[in-house]
Amino acid sequence: MDGLVLCPKTEREADKLIAQIVLADSMIIAVKAGARAEGFVLGMETVGAMRAGDAERLYIIFEKALEERLKALAPG
């Protein structure tokens, strides 16, 4: 998460959310974890706890993690 300006508590939560995506053992669990991560960013952005640019970068980080996990879990 280089370049993001997050308070330590927010960064810890973001790390946990990425871990949930990366460690998901099924596509459904991965998608649910991705949705949770997206909701986290939306909430932080909505209450003004995160700069818009940081929110966009975090959305992209979560999206890439989810795409990679879904590819890894895809059959064949």
Sequential pLDDT tens for the chain (76 residues): 777 888 899 999 999 999 999 999 999 999 999 999 999 999 999 999 988 899 999 999 999 999 999 999 999 7
Would you say residue 2 lies in a domain? no
pLDDT at 45: 92
Residue 28's SS3 state is helix
Would you say residue 35 lies in a domain? yes
Number of domains comprising the chain: 1
pLDDT at 24: 98
User: Which structural domain range is residue 23 located in?
Assistant: 8-71
pLDDT at 28: 98
Would you say residue 3 lies in a domain? no
Give the pTM.
0.91
Would you say residue 76 lies in a domain? no
Task: Give yes or no for a contact between 1 and 11, defined as CB atoms under 8 angstroms apart.
Answer: yes
DSSP element (H, E) containing 47: none
